[in-house]
Amino acid sequence: MFRTTLTSKACSNGLSILTAQAVPTSRNFATASAVSPAARSHKVVVVGGGSAGLAVSHQLLRSGKFAPNDIAIVDPAKWHNYQPGWTLVGGGLKTKEELRKPLDTLLDPKLKFYNEGVNTFSPKENLITLSNGDKVSYDQLVVVPGITINFGSIKGLPEALADPNSLVSSIYGYETCDKVFHTITSLRKGTAIFTQPAGTVKCAGAPQKIMWLALDYWKRAGLYNASKGPESPIQISFATALPGMFGVPKYSARLNELRLERGVEGLFQHDLVAVEGNTATFARLDQQDQVTKHFDLLHVVPKMGPHEFVKKSELANEAGFVDVDEATTRHTKYANVWSVGDASSLPTSKTAAAITAQAPVLVQNLMQSLEGKAPNATYNGYTSCPLTTEYGKVMLAEFKYGGEPHETFGRLLGVDQGTPRRAFYHLKKDFFPWVYYKSMVKGTWAGPKGWMN
Ligand code: UQ1
């Protein structure tokens, strides 16, 4: 994963963009090596060694159609993190160390690894320039570097997070995810605020997953009691830029019922902009003003966005995401460029579960494209959000494009996944982290479709 913000040199040569049809048809299995000047030239270059990069690279390799070094992976990171587990770290259920592995140990030796960032994309020339200045050329490019967490987007946040005495923390970073549990266990009374920002975030359910775990912790410790109203030692608010609890109506309604039952104040259309001491300032999105709130504990979800080197490139749409067709995952202008995962423009919730469904589609379509065939695999927008609603229970939200529920166990077993369940908690806490490192990063896990080849 590209976890650091990289410097980008914008491509501003003003040349007209090639259309899909204009991409040379010779870029396929038969001729690729003939046109390549050997070193630093690959059939496929995958930018990003996160969930999407590892799944796609290894699924491509498993096709058996690639020789050593035909596929290259580019990522400046030393470590690969299982980020869905950071909520569990915040809840005191896992350690952050057990969720990460050195990136190079996850790569099949047949992959060429450039442990570097990317400065620029030159899609008309089919090459990328690395942060060390080296140029790497490709026949097919997969752009999956993820997105950045902009801690600096909230005034005073970096300082508050770094202060070991402040009860300000975030599950959205390796450095801070273990501070979260410390803040939860330290609070004895007062107001706890959990925030969710405006704009794109990874896993839009995580901002409240950690709140539900904290609530349960304080309830069990006798510090939170909804029936006591203002007499409860701890008061809890959920301050979200969204107008409701979740983007999918079915689950949003259930989560709002939980919020009301559990006495959590909903501060909707509140977007955190600054933290100073024990005061949080929010922009009110429904009115043109700001409001300040006192807090004793603050869990912050910073704003997130595309990496500069993607945003400034010819591959990005206006919002800065890699502009791909929502069904085929192929770039809308460059027929030999592909993207899935957080960096892509795919209009669905950004999760590892989404990648389990996206990666096989990208891989099948890229392989067909190499064989000179039209891509015919399609992605339906599948994504999932296993919402911890308390210790021992998870609401397994699964949906597709249009916010329509698409429930695996609803279909298989007839259960309603809007109801939090213990079995789903074990999927989230034990099975998913296990299958992720055991199979998904190795290219053998297709999520709800099970194991592949
Ligand atoms: C999944 O495969 C997965 O990754 C390993 C997750 O964790 C990040 C998930 O949250 C989900 C929902 C899946 C999908 C798999 C099934 C069996 C529903």
Domain spans, the chain: 40-146+307-381, 157-303
**Residue 432 CB–ligand 1 contact under 6 Å:** yes
Q: Is the pLDDT of residue 259 over 70?
A: yes
Catalytic annotation present for 11: no
Amino acid making up residue 62: R
Domain at 40-146+307-381: CATH architecture:
3-Layer(bba) Sandwich (3.50)
Q: How confident is the model at residue 17 (pLDDT cuts 50, 70, 90)?
A: very low
pLDDT at residue 13, as a whole number: 26
**Residue 384 CB–ligand 1 contact under 6 Å:** yes
Question: Mean pLDDT, to the nearest integer, of 423-447?
Answer: 98
- Ligand 1 centroid to 441 CA: how many Å? 13
| Nearest of 61, 72, 2 to residue 36 by alpha carbon | 72
Bridge partners (DSSP) listed for residue 421: 394
Query: Is residue 375 exposed (0-12), middle (13-18) or buried (19+ Cβ within 10 Å)?
Result: buried
Q: Which residue has 């896993």 as its token pair?
A: 203
Q: Is the pLDDT of residue 15 over 70?
A: no
**Residue 195 CB–ligand 1 contact under 6 Å:** no
- Ligand 1 centroid to 407 CA: how many Å? 12
- Ligand 1 centroid to 432 CA: how many Å? 6
How would DSSP label each residue in 400-444? EGGGEE--HHHHHH---TTS-BHHHHHIIIIIHHHHHHHTGGGT-
**Residue 386 CB–ligand 1 contact under 6 Å:** yes
> How does DSSP classify residue 450?
-
pLDDT at residue 453, as a whole number: 79
Question: Mean pLDDT, to the nearest integer, of 99-125?
Answer: 98
Token pair recorded at residue 261? 């039952």
Question: Mean pLDDT, to the nearest integer, of 220-248?
Answer: 97
Q: How confident is the model at residue 39 (pLDDT cuts 50, 70, 90)?
A: confident
Q: How many angstroms separate the Cα of 24 from the Cα of each of 332, 369, 431?
A: 16, 12, 44
Token pair recorded at residue 90? 């915040």
Same fold, 40-146+307-381 and 157-303: yes
CA-based end-to-end distance of the chain: 26
331, 324 in Cβ contact below 8 A? yes
Token pair recorded at residue 240? 């979200």
Q: Is the pLDDT of residue 62 over 90?
A: yes
Q: How many angstroms separate the Cα of 7 from the Cα of each of 2, 85, 107, 262?
A: 12, 29, 26, 45
Q: How confident is the model at residue 66 (pLDDT cuts 50, 70, 90)?
A: very high
Amino acid making up residue 260: L
- Ligand 1 centroid to 353 CA: how many Å? 5
Token pair recorded at residue 366? 């890229």
Atom of ligand 1 nearest to the CA of 84: 8
- Ligand 1 centroid to 35 CA: how many Å? 40
> How does DSSP classify residue 155?
B
Q: Closest Cα to atom 16, ligand 1: which residue?
A: 448
Domain at 157-303: CATH architecture:
3-Layer(bba) Sandwich (3.50)
Q: Closest Cα to atom 14, ligand 1: which residue?
A: 447
Mutate to test the pocket of ligand 1, among 399, 426, 432, 438 (most ligand atoms within 8 A of CB): 432
Token pair recorded at residue 387? 């919402």
188, 296 in Cβ contact below 8 A? no
**Residue 447 CB–ligand 1 contact under 6 Å:** yes
The percentage of the chain sitting over the pLDDT mark of 70, rounded to a whole number, equals 92
Question: Mean pLDDT, to the nearest integer, of 307-332?
Answer: 98
Atom of ligand 1 nearest to the CA of 408: 18
Phi-psi group of 66: left, alpha or beta (phi > 0 → left; psi -120 to 50 → alpha; rest → beta): beta
Atom of ligand 1 nearest to the CA of 435: 5
pLDDT in tens, 121-166: 999 999 999 999 999 999 999 999 999 999 999 999 999 999 999 9
Catalytic annotation present for 203: yes
Bridge partners (DSSP) listed for residue 73: 46, 113
- Ligand 1 centroid to 205 CA: how many Å? 14
Q: Is the pLDDT of residue 24 over 80?
A: no
Token pair recorded at residue 342? 């957080």
Q: How many angstroms separate the Cα of 286 from the Cα of each of 41, 242, 268, 304?
A: 52, 10, 9, 21
**Residue 433 CB–ligand 1 contact under 6 Å:** no
Listed in order, strand segments (DSSP E) in 382-446 are 383-390, 393-400, 404-405
Phi-psi group of 92: left, alpha or beta (phi > 0 → left; psi -120 to 50 → alpha; rest → beta): left
